[in-house]
Amino acid sequence: MASNIIDKLESLVPELTSALGQASSLEEVEGIRVRFLGRKGLLAELMSQVTTLAPEERPMVGKIANQAKAAMTSLWEDKVTAIKSQKQQHGLEIFDPSSPSWRPDLGSIHPITKVTREICSVFTSLGFDVVSGPEVENDFNNFEALNMPLEHPARDMQDTLYISDSILMRTHTSPLQVRTMLSRKPPLAVIAPGKVYRRDSDLTHTPMFHQVEGLLVGKDVTMADLRGILTAFVHKVFGQDIKVRFRPSFFPFTEPSAEVDMSCVLCGGTGRKDENPCRVCKETGWVEILGCGMVDPAVFAKVGYDPDEYVGFAFGLGVERITMLKYGVGDLRMFFENDLRFLGQFA
């Protein structure tokens, strides 16, 4: 009886080997596994007979059965691996329902978009409307109406990307001041985010970058209003502890004009000069964030507003700069390379 079972057990391995030899698909191999190694398979059937043997015969036969099982399992696994790698070499997909699925990549808002939206929401909460206009502009809106006549150096071919003599890529968002005033009656308060273009490309300049323009026109508008609004803006975006200062400057379309600095976000305005000097403010404690001023009466005249009746203020800021300061990004190029490891941090 025992020798009969042993013979059958020993013949299982060559039988399995020959069955596997003829199989070429994972389905066939699975069928073979069920037939030989399954719960009701040939091996299980023989194992169940072991219990009918005399007690002293059982250990020896059991041992042979276990050896056969181990040998068969390993033959079967080798065959599965061989078929899978063959499939892979042929580029065929393997469906393995037990393998964990990959996590889909979730998109994230680009930091420039995120900060643009934040800036706009600060100003809309103060009552400003958001307006937009074309990136291809005419000379009148981009220069002429902004008090930059033909000879103005800002029109230099070095800076401006011209489409034709009078059509160009807007070099700033300030033409939205002109477009807004040509199409609306005061009082008004608008904010205009958008892309702008200049022939400039190095470590700290890109040919396309983003600005947000602001314009408010009314009857009793003063520079104190401008200061109040911009201070509120800086506090909302960077925190209440940040100090704001106005520095006299010049822009053709505002008079007086100012540049606005805020206390340095990195060194807390101390202008650290020690062994680890502040790289953000270059040890001055201040960083420039925008240009602004009271709308020049010459601009009102160009758009048909009565300069004796209306006053207004305008400002323009660079979104890349604000974003770099807000998130401590040290390299402008990060915004344009679209490296998902960088962008994903703004999810």
Closer CB to ligand DAH, 61 or 244, in the complex: 244
Binding region for ligand DAH (CB under 6 A)? 172, 174, 213, 251, 254, 291-293, 314-316
Residues 261/288, Cβ–Cβ less than 8 Å: yes
CB of residue 132 to ligand DAH, shortest distance in Å: 16
DSSP 258-325: EEEEEE-TTTTTS---SSS--TTTTTSSEEEEEEEEEEPHHHHHHHT--TTT-EEEEEEEEHHHHHHH
Choice between 111 and 316, CB closer to ligand DAH: 316
Minimum CB separation of residue 141 from ligand DAH in Å reads: 12
**Residue with structure tokens 């008090």?**
147
Nearby residues of 116 by Cβ (< 8 Å), 6 or more positions away: 193, 210, 212, 319
Task: Indicate the residue among 97 and 153 with the shorter CB distance to ligand DAH.
Answer: 153
Q: Residue with CB nearest ligand DAH?
A: 316
Strand order, beta sheet including 129-130: 129-130, 188-197, 208-218, 311-318, 286-295, 254-263, 244-251
Taking the least distance from each CB to ligand DAH, the nearer of 254 and 263 is 254
CB 100, min distance to ligand DAH, A: 51
Which string of b and e fits 35-57 if b means at least 16 CB within 10 Å? ebbeeebbbeebbebbeebeeeb
> What is d(CA 53, CA 42) in angstroms, rounded to the nearest whole number?
18
Nearer to ligand DAH (CB atom), residue 175 or residue 269: 175
Least Å distance, CB 316 to ligand DAH, is: 2
CA gap 311, 219 in Å, rounded: 6
Which CB atom, from 251 or from 286, has the smaller least distance to ligand DAH?
251
Phi, psi of 142 (to 5 degrees): -80, -35
> Which phi and psi angles does 240 have, rounded to 5°?
-65, -20
The number of angstroms, rounded, from the C-alpha of 50 to the middle of its chain's C-alpha atoms is 66
Contact 227, 246 (CB under 8 A): yes
Q: 180 or 263: whose CB is closer to ligand DAH?
A: 180
Task: Work out how close the CB of 174 gets to ligand DAH at its nearest, in angstroms, rounded to a whole number.
Answer: 4
Shortest distance (Å) from residue 198 CB to ligand DAH: 9
Closer to ligand DAH by CB, 172 or 321: give it.
Answer: 172
CB of 214 to ligand DAH, least distance (A): 7
CB of residue 171 vs ligand DAH: minimum separation in angstroms? 7
User: Looking at 34-187, which runs of residues are DSSP E strands?
Assistant: 129-130, 136-138, 167-169
Taking the alpha carbons of 147, 119, 232, 342 in that order, is the dihedral positive or negative? Answer: negative
CB of 92 to ligand DAH, least distance (A): 57
Phi-psi region of 214 (alpha: psi -120 to 50; beta: other; left: phi over 0): beta
Taking the least distance from each CB to ligand DAH, the nearer of 20 and 196 is 196
